[in-house]
Structure 1
Amino acid sequence: MSRFATVAAGLLIAPALLAASVAHAHQAGDVIVRAGAVTVDPREDSSAIEAGGVALGGKATLDSNTQLGLNFAYMLTDSVGIELLAATPFQHDVGISGLGALDGKLGTIKHLPPTLSAIWYPMQSNSAFQPYVGAGVNFTWFFDEELSSSREAGGFDGFRLDNSWGLAGQVGADFMLTENVMLNAQVRYIDISTTGKTSLGGAPIEVDVDVDPWVYMVGLGYKF
């Protein structure tokens, strides 16, 4: 093939490749639905546990949990969108640490952490790899709080956590596999603060907890 023919072929192929690449980009009006495994990993920091207003010491603990995560995004422009994080309910064991004989599992709680964020894609629209950053507000609803049977037998009564409002930030990336299907990975930090309440022998027990989890999600998405 002559040099002219090679150059001509390249000029013909390049627009086709560019068009295919541009087709991967998010555009204003796109609706994006993502689903995958999402893990909430609390990095809790609690106050001293109080009984009847007297600090006993110790702290509250929570374990991590993985559920089905869902994202729904709408692109306002080619680079800016709004996104809602949803999930099936997370369940965590809540425990006591640092109080000797009272240490161990206190009970279980469930929560839903819907988070509404603005997201920004800084890359050129002709890239199949689309990293993004986002920031927004979170509401965490705690429900189905239950004491363990051993705590109930030991004289504990009632158990609840206050709901929480807080800020959230995230980084993530979409990698377009086709014009509509994408791989997605994201990491979030969510500001969650709550007060846990129970009673022992009639004495009210409270502890303030900054849950502040890191939230990790990996999954697939589809663009409509």
Structure 2
Amino acid sequence: MQILTRSLVACSALLLASPGAFAQKAGDTILGLGVAVIAPRESLGPVTSTGPAAPAFNAATAGATASIDPVATVSLSVLHMFTDHVAAELTLGVPPRLDVDVQLRSGNHPRAVSVKELTPALVAKYLFYTPGDTVRPYLGLGVTHASFRDVKINPSDPLVGRLAGTSVSLSSSWAPVYNAGLIYNINERLSINASVSYIPLKTNATFVGTGTTSTTRLKLNPVDYVVRLGYKF
């Protein structure tokens, strides 16, 4: 009996010490907290202006391009395992501020527009290997609804002020999320989730200025790099 007891204790200790012991099995819910780096792959469509001042603005903005630097933000997630391999993950981050630099033939316009981007996403995932493995790669496919808040222009730029001095708006939109990553199980409760996502995201920008209303199509197409520490309940 004493030998059996010792054996059970030893087995239990071994399971608890095993990095992948019963990780990501059916019914588990994992909360994640980490950092996301958002790297837009932006492009700007033709700027079309209407109104009394439209000819001057159309000439000034012909061939305009845009650039947006990568930004980092806090990322939160809830991952639920429906089976040992199929899961769904809801992600939400602190809205990062994107600074849009505009380049024209007449010169550069840094931080012409800045905006906070909110992109909650729901992604279905398929996890490979088994719940007992230390490393579990996965593929995911989902959807996000992007909305834009607190849109600002650079008031010190004369052209930007004339082009968008009255108001600026960016339309909300739905976009697919293509996701791949892996989970490294530290122990039964803790894990590290690293992933990369591509989101073909587009928005319509409308600028109302002095004597003109201008519209353009802005493609953000971000690649998101995310690392989170997960805790399983």
**CA pair 123-194 structure 1, distance change in 2 beyond 3 A:** same
Distance 1:100 1:213 in 2: 28
1:94 aligns with 2:100: yes
Q: How far 1:16 sits from its partner (Å)? A: 7.7
Q: How far 1:126 sits from its partner (Å)? A: 2.2
1:28 aligns with 2:26: yes
Q: TM-score, normalised by structure 1?
A: 0.86
Q: How far 1:14 sits from its partner (Å)? A: 9.2
> Which residue does 1:223 correspond to in 2?
232
1:117 aligns with 2:126: no
Distance 2:220 2:106 in 1: 23
**CA pair 95-202 structure 1, distance change in 2 beyond 3 A:** farther
Distance 2:107 2:13 in 1: 71
Distance 1:184 1:61 in 2: 29
Q: How far 1:63 sits from its partner (Å)? A: 2.3
> Which residue does 1:170 correspond to in 2?
179
> Which residue does 2:4 correspond to in 1?
none
Aligned residues of 1:24 and 1:180 also touching (Cα < 8 A): no
Aligned residues of 2:184 and 2:193 also touching (Cα < 8 A): yes
> Which residue does 1:139 correspond to in 2?
145
Distance 1:151 1:205 in 2: 17
Q: Which of 33, 37, 43 pairs up with 1:39?
A: 37
User: Which stretch shifts more, 155-164 or 19-28?
Assistant: 19-28
Distance 1:14 1:29 in 2: 24
Distance 1:15 1:124 in 2: 19
Distance 2:161 2:130 in 1: 61
> Which residue does 1:73 correspond to in 2?
79
Aligned residues of 1:30 and 1:74 also touching (Cα < 8 A): yes
What amino acid sits opposite 1:221 in the alignment?
G
Gaps of 5+ in 1: 1-12
Q: How far 1:15 sits from its partner (Å)? A: 10
Distance 1:91 1:22 in 2: 38
What amino acid sits opposite 1:148 in the alignment?
N
**CA pair 17-102 structure 1, distance change in 2 beyond 3 A:** closer
| Identity score, percent | 28
> Which residue does 1:210 correspond to in 2?
219
Q: TM-score, normalised by structure 2?
A: 0.83
What amino acid sits opposite 1:106 in the alignment?
A
What secondary structure, in the 3-state scheme, does the structure 2 residue paired with 1:126 have?
coil
- Give the paired residue count: 212
Q: Which of 192, 196, 205 pairs up with 2:205?
A: 196
What secondary structure, in the 3-state scheme, does the structure 2 residue paired with 1:204 have?
strand
User: Which stretch shifts more, 136-145 or 103-112?
Assistant: 103-112
Distance 2:87 2:81 in 1: 4
Q: How far 1:18 sits from its partner (Å)? A: 7.0
